[in-house]
A and B are shown apart, each in its own frame.
Chain A
Amino acid sequence: MFKKYICSICGHVYDEALGDPDSGLAPGTLFEDIPEDWICPDCGSDKSTYSLIED
């Protein structure tokens, strides 16, 4: 089951089901598989600023 993660700086939500095609992340890309140099598409913060959205 896909999960969602939120950027603690700007609130951008990374939805594994949707990926982030604009930055080359295909739908279904798991958060743990995102390259470490990927940045938030809205505020440019590092991947480390994201946290899991608990259901």
Chain B
Amino acid sequence: MTSPTIPVELIAPLFSPQSFADPQFIDVMMREVREKYPLAIAQVPGFAPHWIVSKWADLREITRQDEIFHSNENSKTLVTEAGQQMIYDYTGGKPNVLETLVHMDPPVHGKYRAVAAPQFMPGPIAAREEQVRGIARKYIDKLIAHAPEVDFAAEIAFYYPLEVIMTLTGAPPEDLHKILQMAQWFFNYADPDLKRPDFDPTDPVQVVKTWTMVLEFFNEYGNKIIADRRACPKDDIATILANAKIDGCPMSESSLGSYFLILGTAGHDTTAASTATAMWILAEQPELLARLKAQPEDIPKFIEEVVRWATPVKHFIRTAARDYQLRGQTIKKGDRLYLSYVSANRDEEVFSDPFTFNIDRPANKQQIAFGYGAHMCIGQHLAKMELRVFWQELLPRLDWVTLAGTPKVAMSELVPGPKSVPIRFSAK
């Protein structure tokens, strides 16, 4: 039996960073994919064939079986075949440029995750709440100083989550802008406003140069802090990393650099996207703003729906380690699977009326933006806490807010968050 395929003219935009600047376009496209091709192959020119996994239940089934669906057999994120070859050439045969938790398989993944995971459990995160609340107040003061108009994404949302994660990590606050820039150069390489200046994504030399600049930055940055913490331990994540052992040995320099990279990138750009999306929604829905001001106990439900709505990470790629039956199809050993998290979070079988922002939806605890299985976002409790704290602090001071222009979303096939959310507002 031949496997079903999705018409190229329907699915090709999913393989283009530019498409994600229009979230509604992606929603419409993936609604048709879920309806007509819930599990089928995309054969887009320039790319290896990928199963497009669009259903919530299928994502859960795949991502809870890391032994079968590997993260480090091919690139964990979408690349062209030429791009995959460039990665092999650059790394000396490895499938990913980065070696972070995201890119690891068992049993290595579990060992590295266990180093920092206890710090991100609900109890330790709750203990950090007052510290985070102080950072939130600082950014709200900054926001109000910009009244009556500000680009909320560029001035506030990009920096607040970054300062939170870097503070917990132990990084000097004066380095925030450089870390933000490095993260944007790496992950927003296709966006004209966020990419490295003069960078041409079609030029392999430029691509490799950017990879090298970003990796060298995080390796040097991380290892400088690690050296300090080995000499002078503090109450921060850097100290835990500095003294961690994997199979009885200290973590390697590249592993430490990767840990800093994942903290400095995934630790903030996803939450930045949710923070900016939340303001975007409130600027368009004054009745929701009024409700949350009157009923702050609903803020956690608001946050959960914001995260579903934003679904900051749009996809990851897995590779089947053996043949596997799924939804009546045979996934063959070696097949790539494109997991569409944004599609899963719009799956009509789980979320009724999925294209309506509804903080009262009964299934919103089921949203899958943080992933599922052993790779579930290590920072999910921090993300939810810092979002909750920010709105708990801002809402009593925010009288009203409207859009002062058209928001813009970054061109990225991976984390296309809002890059501009111009607002007009009154606050005290």
Contacts and interface: CB of A to CB of B under 8 A. Distances in A.
A6 interface: yes
Nearest to A43: B376
A39 B120 CA distance: 21
B114 A9 contact: no
A54 to B, nearest CB: 12
A44 B121 contact: no
B133 interface: no
Nearest to B125: A11
B374 interface: yes
Contacts of A42: 376
Interface in B348-406: 372-374, 376, 380-381
Contact of A44 (B114, B373, B380): B373
Contacts of A9: 117, 373-374, 376
Contacts of B64: 39, 43-45
Contacts of B120: 11
B12 to A, nearest CB: 32
Interface size class of A (residues with CB under 8 A): 10 to 19
B117 A44 contact: no
A18 interface: no
Given A44-B60, A45-B64, A8 B373 contact: no
A52 interface: no
Interface in B88-122: 114, 117, 120-122
A43 B373 contact: yes
Contacts of A6: 121
B376 A10 contact: yes
B381 A45 contact: no
Contacts of B121: 6, 11
A11 B122 contact: yes
A11 B381 contact: yes
The main secondary structure of chain A at its interface with chain B is loop
Interface string A30-47: 000000000100111100
B60 A8 contact: no
A45 B374 contact: yes
A39 B63 CA distance: 13
A44 B60 CA distance: 8
B372 A44 contact: yes
A11 B63 CA distance: 17
Interface in B62-78: 63-64
A42 to B, nearest CB: 8
Interface string B113-143: 0100100111000000000000000000000
Given A6-B121, A11-B121, A11-B122, A43 B381 contact: no
A41 B357 CA distance: 24
Contacts of B380: 10
Interface string A9-22: 11101000000000
B88 to A, nearest CB: 31
A9 B117 CA distance: 8
Contacts of B122: 11, 13
A44 B64 CA distance: 6
Contacts of A43: 64, 372-374, 376
A8 B372 CA distance: 13
B334 to A, nearest CB: 24
A37 to B, nearest CB: 12
Nearest to B380: A10
A39 B132 CA distance: 32
Interface in B387-427: none
A8 B120 CA distance: 10
29 contacts: A6-B121, A8-B114, A8-B117, A9-B117, A9-B373, A9-B374, A9-B376, A10-B376, A10-B380, A11-B120, A11-B121, A11-B122, A11-B381, A13-B122, A39-B64, A42-B376, A43-B64, A43-B372, A43-B373, A43-B374, A43-B376, A44-B60, A44-B63, A44-B64, A44-B372, A44-B373, A45-B64, A45-B373, A45-B374
Given A8-B117, A10-B376, A45-B374, 6 more contacts: A6-B121, A8-B114, A10-B380, A43-B374, A43-B376, A44-B60
What 6 pairs across the A-B complex have the smallest Cβ distances? Answer: A44-B64, A43-B376, A11-B121, A11-B122, A10-B376, A44-B373
